[in-house]
Structure 1
Amino acid sequence: MSFTRLRLDDVSRSFGGHPALEGLDLTIERGEFIALLGPSGCGKSTALNCLAGLLPLTRGSIWSDDTRLDTLPPERRGFGMVFQSYALFPHLSVRRNIAFGLQMRRLPRAEVRRRTDEAIRLVRLEEHAGKLPGQLSGGQQQRVAIARAVVLEPALVLMDEPLSNLDAKLRLEMRTEIRRLHQSLGLTTVYVTHDQEEALSLADRLVVLRDGRVQQIGSPEELHTRPVNRHVADFMGYRNLLPMRATRRHGSTQMVVEGEGLRLIGSPVGPVAPGTDVIAAVRPEDLRIAEVQGTGLLATVEVVEYQGREVAVEARTESGLLLNLRTTQRPALGDWVELVVAPARLLVFPDDSSTTGRATDRAATDSSATGSPRTDREVPA
């Protein structure tokens, strides 16, 4: 069932009266690669299963152009699915696993063989076509699962965390393989993952979910550089989330924030007014060691992790706040460093958390400050 546009209108699903997915509105253009991204329990797999027809909707509708799909059984939607567990038949060879769906459709034998051969070639398993799944590596089994989905020439391919069972090297290789197949075959793909790096590298657009609700939809660059709230920022790699208070405006577009012995200048996202609680967010790579002494925030290096050209550093301020940074410099344990952040790289979000949530935020920053802060420096660019 080919389409130009797939539309999800107010798609919702509850279990025992508890909403697992609420009000998902999403339009998918033909040929797009969409990643559903979020932590465990956010509703992303529920959304995928609703789209596949494995779960009925509690509310809403799904449309393929002008055809309503949510009233159709899974087999009539024409979608291919790749499961986290691969779900291969252990007693069938690679070739027979891939051909199975075509045979169930009662296609001519010559057509089944042609399409199966082509799928095997696409996933580069020609030398393994006669093997059983148990004789293959995890990456090879995942390729069989992908070939089995695409051989049906589906209008949409659904992938539910297909790389989560692979080691780091295989995950990287298979990411490239999935993107290559998507582009070469002109597939439309919806991909579920909890790995933001995986989503950024694969998708044309990302849909970030939290507690069953969409937080933000946008391109990888949009979500990476301009998350719309603190929850998206947290999930997109802003490891430094600092509970602070907005004190005054700085120019027409920036805000001075204070707390935890710091005074910082950042860029507000959303309604931020002086006198309100805020969360200041900065990525580790945007927190830099100052080149000129006396211009930054003093902190003591507590952890250094070698990561090739860069090192990941944890440093604690004099007030006890733990900060994460990445740097090409090589500080040693116990060194004092001065840290600076450009105002454009420090995002300031309204603190919309409850009292409990705020306590969690503070625990996440691992702050152990007690009493009056010993420093109160404004950290410039």
Structure 2
Amino acid sequence: MSGFSELRLDGVGRRFSGKDALADLDLTIRAGEFIALLGPSGCGKSTALNCLAGLLPLTSGSIWQDETRVDVLPPEKRGFGMVFQSYALFPHMSVRRNVAFGLQMRRLPKAEVARRTAEAIRLVQLDAHADKLPGQLSGGQQQRVAIARAVVLEPSLVLMDEPLSNLDAKLRLEMRTEIRRLHQSLGLTTVYVTHDQEEALSLADRLVVLRDGRVQQVGTPEDLHARPVNWHVADFMGFRNMLPLTAAQASGEDVVLEGEGLRLTGTAVGPLSAGADVVAAVRPEDVRVAAGEGANLIAATVEVVEYQGRELAVEVRTDRGRPLHVRTDQRLAPGDAVTLTVDPHRLLAYPLAPGEQVPAPLAAAEAVPS
């Protein structure tokens, strides 16, 4: 594969009809890294990928591969491989011909085309299906053909745009492992777009979280899982419990929060002063059913219980009507009165900007699993 040390995006932006879809994206990707661009629909992650691929021209900024500026090159001159959400296979061509197509367009010798095609098909474990048409394959097999077609070109960078979103849950898990295995075994540099935080955490070396076209946080999976930089990132990264409270006391990272009939001790993320409006964020798995004594106690009533194997996903409602999400191995039933507790180090307090509103919690029937 074409070697490079780093790929650098400097102030990359893209506007549509005068509105920023992507703004001031600065990112350096090291050779061999797996980078996930993560965020909700409309956050700019696919726009960033299409700018990298050359499918969209930049409105501002530049893209460099070491000392070579690549955003001025057409897509076919950049040497990048692309895996689409839709697979985009030729339905009338066999697996072998689909994989070989790009090599043939480059007019490589027939023997080299045959060798590289066979090697790519072997890597994705589709030797037995090489002469089948795409319509004869499962969704997971078709996605593996699309990956083989990308890597057979020996690209310096592989771009993947939500490649698993059309697969069922079991296949998604299998293909996640397959993609990571190929990334490691081939020494690929990969940029991967997804809206699935679990998928991003399991695959990526570093995550880039976007919101409204702007980078919110760049970090390792551990960084983003444990310490989101703001409440928008926390909300997206699975901190389903968001409480609008007030900082009654603040000393360094230690903060006492009050509101909605609660008095809780938490950990400030960023500077906080007494009297400030905050969003207190905590993951469902960090809310525990307590024995009724100690600190950070919350009285609540169980409303909805979902069986999830060894654990239950439980929605409760506090005395003031605030819904909270809990994961527990204790057997609970709707109507049970419970006392909950939260470790102060797991309850993160974020400053709320003037005029900023915390989204209202979803009703139980609309709740999205974390």
Same-fold status (TM-score > 0.5)? yes
TM-score w.r.t. the length of structure 2 is 0.96
CA distance in 1, matches of 2:178, 2:298: 44
Tell me the residue number matched to 1:379.
Answer: none
Is 1:74 paired with 2:71? no
Q: Number of residue pairs matched?
A: 362
For residues 296-307 of structure 1, the aligned pairs below 5 Å read 296-307=297-308
* Alpha-carbon contact 1:242-1:365 (below 8 Å) kept: no
Corresponding residue SS for 2:345: helix
1:94-129 deviation per Cα after TM superposition (whole angstroms, max 9, x unaligned)? 000000000001111111111111111110111111
Tell me the residue number matched to 1:285.
Answer: 285
Identity among equivalent positions (%) equals: 74
RMSD (Å) for aligned C-alpha atoms: 1.3
* Alpha-carbon contact 1:321-1:365 (below 8 Å) kept: no
Corresponding residue SS for 2:150: helix
Tell me the residue number matched to 2:361.
Answer: 364
For residues 126-141 of structure 1, the aligned pairs below 5 Å read 126-141=127-142
Tell me the residue number matched to 1:89.
Answer: 90
Tell me the residue number matched to 2:335.
Answer: 334
1:119 aligned partner, one-letter code? A
Corresponding residue SS for 1:227: coil
Tell me the residue number matched to 1:352.
Answer: 353
Q: CA deviation at 1:271?
A: 1.9
Q: CA deviation at 1:291?
A: 3.1
Tell me the residue number matched to 2:166.
Answer: 165
CA distance in 2, matches of 1:305, 1:364: 18
Tell me the residue number matched to 1:271.
Answer: 271
* Alpha-carbon contact 1:240-1:365 (below 8 Å) kept: no
1:312-361 deviation per Cα after TM superposition (whole angstroms, max 9, x unaligned)? 0001111111000101111111111110001000000001262xx52x52
CA distance in 1, matches of 2:353, 2:115: 57
For residues 1-381 of structure 1, the aligned pairs below 5 Å read 1-249=2-250, 252-293=252-293, 296-352=297-353, 354=355, 357-358=356-357, 361=359, 363-364=360-361
* Alpha-carbon contact 2:323-2:361 (below 8 Å) kept: no
CA distance in 2, matches of 1:275, 1:314: 30
Distance 1:12 1:228, change over 3 A: same
1:214 aligned partner, one-letter code? V
Runs of 4+ in 1 over 4 A off after TM superposition: 292-295
Tell me the residue number matched to 1:374.
Answer: none
Q: Which runs of 5+ in 2 are unaligned?
A: 365-370
CA distance in 1, matches of 2:253, 2:353: 21
* Alpha-carbon contact 2:252-2:268 (below 8 Å) kept: no
Q: Which runs of 5+ in 1 are unaligned?
A: 368-381
Corresponding residue SS for 1:349: strand
